Every structure is written in C-alpha cells, then in structure tokens.
Amino acid sequence: MRYRTLGRVAFAPSALGFGAMRLPVLADESAGAAAPRRIDEEAATAMLRRAVEAGVNYVDTAYVYHDGESEPWLGRALRQVAGELFGPADQGLAELRRRVKVATKLPVWKLERNDDPERLLSEQLERLQLDSIDFYLLHGLGAGSLAKLREHDVLGWAERALADGRIAHLGFSFHDEYPLFEELVDATDLWEFCQIQYNYMDQEYQAGTRGLEYAAAKGLGVIVMEPVRGGQLARRPPQAVAALWAAANARREASGLAARTPVDWALQWVWNHPEVSFLLSGMSSLAQLDENIVSAECAGPGALDDDDLETCRRVRDAYLELNPIPCTGCRYCLPCPSGVDIPKVLDIYNEAEIYGGGPAAARFAYGWVSESERAELCKQCGACQELCPQKIAIVDWLEKIQQYLAVGK
C-alpha cells in the first residue's frame, strides 16, 4: 500500500480509503430488490478485514449512510476485525484504532436546535462503540450552510468537542459551487481537511480543480470522493471511449506495462494529483476492493505520463460529445420564472444517458434536486428558449425528462 500526506495533520493516510456508503446489501424479498438498510454484514465485515490487512488505514461513514445502518455496522465490524487480527476485547480494539482512523459526519441539514450537534455526536459515538472520532466532517455543506452553522454555533460547539478529545480533527464535505467552497475554506481556522467530488469528468464541477488547489494551498488535506463518479466510469464504456482505452492499453503493453481497466484509469488520474491526500472508494464487493487495492499499490503523482493524460482528456471529450442535450451549463436560461433549475435537470438526463444508468440513475440523482427547482414546475412559458445560445428546445426536453423519470416508477 502507498501512503500520502494529509495537509498539516500528522498522519500518513493510505492512498485508498474505505468508504462505507455502498456496502453489499441483502435482497428485500418483498420488494424484489436490494434494501439499503439490510447490509450484508458478513460480506461487508470480510471486506473491512481484507482492507485492513492490505494496509488501508482510513474508514469513512456517515450518520445517514445505508439509511442510518452504516455507523452501527461499522461499530460491530471494528470490534470483530480487531478481535480476529489483533486479539480479544479492548486490547485488540486499541491496536486496530492505532492503525486505522475512523471518520464520520454530522448531518448539518438535520440541525434545528443548538443542542442538536451534541445530541447527534453522542448518538454517533454510541453507534460506533467508540469514545472518540478521529476525523469528523460537517456533512454536505452547500448554499445556506454557513448561515445554519452560525445560527446554531456549530463551530463553537466543534471547538469544544475538539478540546475535550471526542473529535480529533475537523473538516467538511462539499456539494455546491466553487465560490462557496472558497468562502467555507476561509470561514474558520478549525478546518484541517475537506472532502470533494473529483474525477477526470468533474474537473470544473463543484469545487473542481480550483477547489483542490485552493484548499491544498491553505494547508488543508483534500480527500477525494466519487473518483469513478458513483460507478459511472466503471461501467462498460461506449464504443468511442472503449476505443481510446484500447489504444492507450496497446501502447502500454508495447512498452511491457500491464493494461489498465477503466476503473484503474480513473483512480490513477486522481492519484496523479499531488494535492490529493487520498481517495475514498465506496466498494460493494470483495472483487471491487481487491481491484482497488492493486491499483493503490501503483498510485502516486507521476504515475500517468503525458500520453496517458492526453488519453484521459480525449475520453472526457468523447463522453461529453455523447450528451443528447447540447447544454453547456452557461446558465443564460436562468432565472426561470417558475424556479426550475434548468441546467441541473438537463444534466441529470444527460448523465443517465451517457453513462448507461437509465431512468433509475436519473431518479436517484433527481431525488437531490429541491422540490422548488424541479422540472414539473415548468409552465412552458418559453422564456428560457429565447435566452438559450444553443437554441435548445428546453420546454420539450423538460416534458420528456418528466416522462423519462416516471418510466417504471
């Protein structure tokens, strides 16, 4: 396993972190599908043990993952893995805790009272069966978050939790636009790290490359989530993309190097950035974990040469050319008189079609869109179409997207 640095924190994280958001789950026989709450604990715990044995030393969960069951699973799994690898009871757990750091997150959107952060942290410590959390994040900060943090004095509370040792390091995860990211980074000196979405398709999305470089320049560790875009970049690629990967792999094999899978290409692209502290992978099977461990053993800045980076650029362009709706995200169509976030809605449809996720993937992403910004609010006034420089038939697309989201519902 390769190890990296985490800003000014005296900790060398493994290049690969274990994400506990997409654990293997058991089927819900009544629904005929997998149920997020029903974690396959035997399989998930076996994955955690394998990760620890391979040198992974950072495990990330959150209050809401797997409908609230991820933290309790992790509490049980840590004790089981500790006992199996390092000895029984508290002695084994102490050794595991020395080797492996645990991270979880405060669901800021759930805060309604000033004592909610204290109540939630206490609940999380109980769920995890721990007396302290190594890395604690304010979860999913975005528009309105700073006002909520100030309203409930969350940073003041966090400073006290840091002082009494229940939190060792404070950071935040981010899901919004770059200007807000910069504002958040500069909001307090308590931050030691942050977590952003970053991959070769999302270089300008949310915090993006600018955010990565800004936070790193401020001395923060930067943890990358969604390095394969929630699995989208791991799917069987479309023909144009597959041809680019095949040509790059042929070049590698001619030089005596092993071919890379699409997953390996995506992970190596992230690790190639020296500002990245490490990446989190939300793995759902032992096979995925083993593939990522093999990739991590070759991780590091400089792992990709100029030809490799050019291939990644061309792959990105090839994906973008597959957009069924030629929206550039310029936002000239806004503000919509009815409040629809037109670029966001169009982008959800584009992504579902580009990466092969279909209506199910689109409905999942659409669930994160505020009800005040959804396509069904469109009154077909046509104001957006008059402003669109791409001359997109936006009204027609919004109607089609509503039908698309309803398929198989």
Question: Given the DSSP bridges, would you call strands 16-19 and 58-60 parallel, antiparallel or unpaired?
Answer: parallel
> 106 and 69, same structural domain?
yes
**5 falls within a domain:** no
> 352 and 259, same structural domain?
no
> 356 and 302, same structural domain?
no
* Range 372-381 burial, b when 16+ CB lie within 10 A, else e: eebbeebeee
Structure confidence by residue, pLDDT tens digits, 21-38: 999 998 765 544 556 678
> 224 and 135, same structural domain?
yes
> 275 and 360, same structural domain?
no
> Rounded to an integer, what distance in angstroms lies between the CA atom of residue 10 and that of residue 120?
27
**80 falls within a domain:** yes
**401 falls within a domain:** yes
> 217 and 70, same structural domain?
yes
Structure confidence by residue, pLDDT tens digits, 157-183: 999 999 999 999 999 999 888 999 999
**346 falls within a domain:** yes
> 309 and 349, same structural domain?
no
Identify the pLDDT of residue 36: 65
Identify the pLDDT of residue 386: 87
Burial status of residue 163 (CB atoms within 10 A of its CB: 0-12, 13-18, 19 or more): exposed
**156 falls within a domain:** yes
User: Looking at the 3D structure of the chain, how many domains does it have?
Assistant: 2
> 351 and 304, same structural domain?
no
Q: What is the CATH number of the domain that holds 196?
A: 3.20.20.100
**350 falls within a domain:** yes
> Rounded to an integer, what distance in angstroms lies between the CA atom of residue 169 and that of residue 159?
10
Enumerate residue ranges in the chain where pLDDT < 70.
28-36, 407-409
Phi (first) and psi of residue 170, to 5 degrees: -115, 135
| Closest to 24 (Cα-Cα) out of 227, 287, 258 | 287
In order of 52, 63, 109, 169, 378, the CA distances from 122 in angstroms are 26, 12, 17, 16, 44
> 128 and 226, same structural domain?
yes
For every residue of 227-277, DSSP letters joined together read TTTTTGGGSPPPHHHHHHHHHHHHHHHHTTPPP--HHHHHHHHHHT-TT--
Which three-class secondary structure state does DSSP give residue 27? Answer: strand
Domain region containing 105: 16-313
Beta partners for residue 193, in sequence order? 171, 221
> 353 and 302, same structural domain?
no
> 286 and 363, same structural domain?
no
> 54 and 194, same structural domain?
yes
> Rounded to an integer, what distance in angstroms lies between the CA atom of residue 205 and that of residue 203?
6
User: Which parts of 147-204 are beta strand (E)?
Assistant: 167-174, 191-197
Residue 204 DSSP symbol: S
**3 falls within a domain:** no
**83 falls within a domain:** yes
Q: Which long-range contacts (CB under 8 A, 24 or more apart) does 39-44 make?
A: 39/66, 39/69, 39/70, 39/73, 41/73, 41/76, 41/77, 43/285, 43/286, 44/20, 44/73, 44/77
